[in-house]
């Protein structure tokens, strides 16, 4: 048993998925919390300052590297697992078991994850690249706004521009629905992969997982909707 | 329960040997009693086929009382047929109605190659057991049953896991053809007991290594295995195995 085997055996691969998954869940909490500042209805001042803090603090920039490593591992390992698992049955069944044994979203983690990945490419292009790499080459640069004589990136202004398009808003909402179902299975399953079998904690994790999978994606989905419908000023 | 007879259409997988491509063949069976077991219905069909000088359908069976794990049919899209917690041999024909069409397939998994018709090669399970599904004790006189105290909860959980008959329905139902429910039942059954405790770490590592070599997939926790298991083995065993695997892998000092 080597360290390599620990991460490359069938159980080890799921261990990587669970660890990165749980850290991505933690990231979602921070992301949703910061973004919820748009609902302060102060023209985005609180949100812009919070975003500035996230972008300008060295500790968080280091954590961001960890986040990128985690998400790339989760994507690559997920795609490898999906391909390997599909190859385990060359001849399928005439009559599939279908929903009699499991939930459709538990069986569709690869598909849901791929939808989220496609969304992430669009999402990073909308906000992350202009914010971090704006001005380099022909990457679009964010507007600047001043609070108390200090200059900030106007990320809120960028949201208002991006979410003018109904198509984009619909794509964002669809991505949030994919995320909800991905979490509905993933949250619970990650803890099972990490070895949780104590019934008392299984129940707590399950309830937390369902609540998290509904509340967090719903909060995310309401952001583009709120901006599009002019609910935030 | 009222007795009735029925006429059925069977669509059964026929395959000459491991290398030949198989196909479905349609059979009509008449006057099947609702009190027959599913395998007895196959016996009736096979007798008729033999009398007509046609080749009977090959299928696995042994004890016919739900404890040996030999029967293995995938009936109408579900391992061991429509009843919960029931093996094919214990499935009665009253589960079906007159005029039904029943599709019968072998277990589908690359780790379980078809030998003939509905019979698949499940030696992969034997090799996983050989890799660590046992306890090493010197033979001799039987030890007094109460010599080693066992916690009641552990005894119960170990007993529930030990109910696994190794039929392979979990692999057949799993979208990844994963053998995790089987392996976890064997791991939990032994590691929960003081007799299995000393070899706990190597057992789980070796059994998983063998499982991977045999070409089973990994576990997505869809829980389809638990839903179809004739012995109602719980997926909690899989979570227990995961935890044991990680602590064993982390604790190894070589």
B contacts of A88 (beta carbons < 8 Å)? 109-111, 176-178, 215-217
Q: What is the mean pLDDT of residues B32-55?
A: 97
Residues 6 or more apart in contact with residue B82 via CB below 8 angstroms: B75, B76, B91, B95
Contact A11 B76 (CB under 8 A): no
A contacts of B221 (beta carbons < 8 Å)? 106, 185, 188-189, 192-193
pLDDT tens digits, one per residue of A46-90: 999 999 999 889 999 999 999 999 999 999 999 999 999 999 999
Q: Are B80 and B228 in contact (CB under 8 A)?
A: yes
Q: Are B117 and B12 in contact (CB under 8 A)?
A: yes
Distance CA A48, CA A221 (A): 19
pLDDT tens digits, one per residue of B170-185: 999 999 999 999 999 9
A contacts of B218 (beta carbons < 8 Å)? 10-11, 13-14, 81, 84-85
Q: Are A215 and A147 in contact (CB under 8 A)?
A: no
Which residue matches tokens 């992430």? A120
B101-105/B5-14 β-pairing: parallel
- Comparing CB atoms, the residue among A88, A95, A199 nearest residue B177 is A88
Percentage of chain B modeled with pLDDT above 90: 92
Contact B245 A11 (CB under 8 A): yes
ipTM of the complex: 0.92
Minimal-distance CA residue of chain A relative to B205: A1
Per-residue 3-state assignment (H helix, E strand, C coil) for B12-28: EEECCCCCCCCEEEEEE
Burial class, A36, CB count within 10 angstroms (exposed 0-12 / middle 13-18 / buried 19+): middle
Question: What pLDDT is attached to residue B141?
Answer: 86
Minimal-distance CA residue of chain A relative to B217: A85
Contact B217 A84 (CB under 8 A): yes
Any chain A CB within 8 A of the CB of B235?
yes
Nearest Cα residue to B112 out of B19, B229, B216, B240: B216
Tokens of A220: 């995310």
Contact A6 B239 (CB under 8 A): no
| Ordered per-residue pLDDT tens for chain A, 233 residues | 677 778 889 999 999 999 999 999 999 999 999 999 999 999 999 999 999 999 889 999 999 999 999 999 999 999 999 999 999 999 999 999 999 999 999 999 999 999 999 999 999 999 999 888 877 877 788 889 999 889 999 999 999 999 999 999 999 999 999 999 999 999 999 999 999 999 999 999 999 999 999 999 999 999 999 999 999 87
Q: What is the mean pLDDT of residues B37-64?
A: 97
- Comparing CB atoms, the residue among B103, B110, B211 nearest residue A10 is B211
Question: What pLDDT is attached to residue B254?
Answer: 65
Q: Which string of DSSP letters, residue by residue, matches chain B?
A: ----EEEEEEEEEE-SSSSS--EEEEEEEEEEETTSBHHHHHHHHHHHHHHTTPPPPP---SSSSSSS-----EETTEET-SSTT--GGG-BGGGS-TT-EEEEE----TTS-EEETTEE--HHHHHHHHTTSS-----SSPPPTTSS---HHHHHHHHHHHT-----HHHHH-TT-B-HHHHHHHHHHHHTSTTTGGGHHHHHHHHHHHHHHTT-B------HHHHH-TT---THHHHHHHHHHHHHHHH---
């Amino acid at each position: 048993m080597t360290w390599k085997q620990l991460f490359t055996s069938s159980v080890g691969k799921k261990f990587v998925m669970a660890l990165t998954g749980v850290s991505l869940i933690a990231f979602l909490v921070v992301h949703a919390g910061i973004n919820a500042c748009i609902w302060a209805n102060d023209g985005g001042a609180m949100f812009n300052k919070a975003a500035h803090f996230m972008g300008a603090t060295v500790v968080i920039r280091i954590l961001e590297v960890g986040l990128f490593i985690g998400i790339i591992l989760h994507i690559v390992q997920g795609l490898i697992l999906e391909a390997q698992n599909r190859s385990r049955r060359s001849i399928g069944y005439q009559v599939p078991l279908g929903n009699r044994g499991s939930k459709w979203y538990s069986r569709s983690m690869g598909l849901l994850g791929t939808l989220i990945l496609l969304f992430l490419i669009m999402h990073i292009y909308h906000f992350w690249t202009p914010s971090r790499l704006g001005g380099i080459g022909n990457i679009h640069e964010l507007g600047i706004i001043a609070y108390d004589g200090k200059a900030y990136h106007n990320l809120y202004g960028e949201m208002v521009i991006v979410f003018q398009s109904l198509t984009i808003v619909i794509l964002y909402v669809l991505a949030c629905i994919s995320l909800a179902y991905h979490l509905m299975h993933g949250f619970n399953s990650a803890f099972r992969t990490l070895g949780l079998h104590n019934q008392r904690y299984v129940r707590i994790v399950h309830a937390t997982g369902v609540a998290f999978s509904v509340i967090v994606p719903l909060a995310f989905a309401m952001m583009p909707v709120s901006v599009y419908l002019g609910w935030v000023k | 329960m009222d007795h009735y007879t029925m006429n059925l259409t069977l669509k059964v997988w026929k395959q000459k040997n491991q290398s030949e491509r198989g196909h479905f063949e349609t059979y009509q069976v008449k006057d099947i009693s609702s009190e027959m077991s599913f395998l007895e219905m196959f016996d009736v069909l096979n007798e008729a086929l033999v009398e007509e000088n046609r080749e009977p359908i090959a299928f696995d069976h042994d004890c016919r009382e739900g404890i040996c794990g030999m029967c293995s049919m995938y009936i109408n899209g579900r391992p061991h047929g429509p009843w919960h917690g029931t093996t094919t041999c214990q499935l009665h024909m009253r589960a079906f109605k007159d005029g039904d069409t029943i599709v019968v397939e072998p277990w589908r998994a690359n780790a379980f190659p078809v030998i003939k018709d509905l019979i698949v090669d499940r030696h992969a399970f034997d090799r996983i057991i050989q890799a660590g599904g046992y306890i090493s004790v010197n033979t001799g006189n039987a030890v007094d049953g109460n010599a080693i105290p066992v916690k009641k909860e552990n005894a119960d959980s170990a007993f529930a896991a030990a109910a696994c008959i190794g039929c392979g329905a979990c692999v057949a139902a799993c979208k990844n053809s994963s053998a995790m429910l089987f392996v976890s039942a064997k791991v939990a059954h032994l590691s929960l007991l003081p007799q299995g405790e000393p070899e706990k770490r190597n057992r789980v590592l070796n059994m998983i290594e063998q499982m991977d070599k045999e070409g089973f997939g990994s576990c997505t926790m869809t829980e389809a295995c638990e839903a179809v298991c004739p012995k109602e083995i719980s997926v909690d065993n899989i979570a227990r195995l995961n935890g044991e695997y990680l602590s064993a892998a982390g604790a190894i000092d070589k």
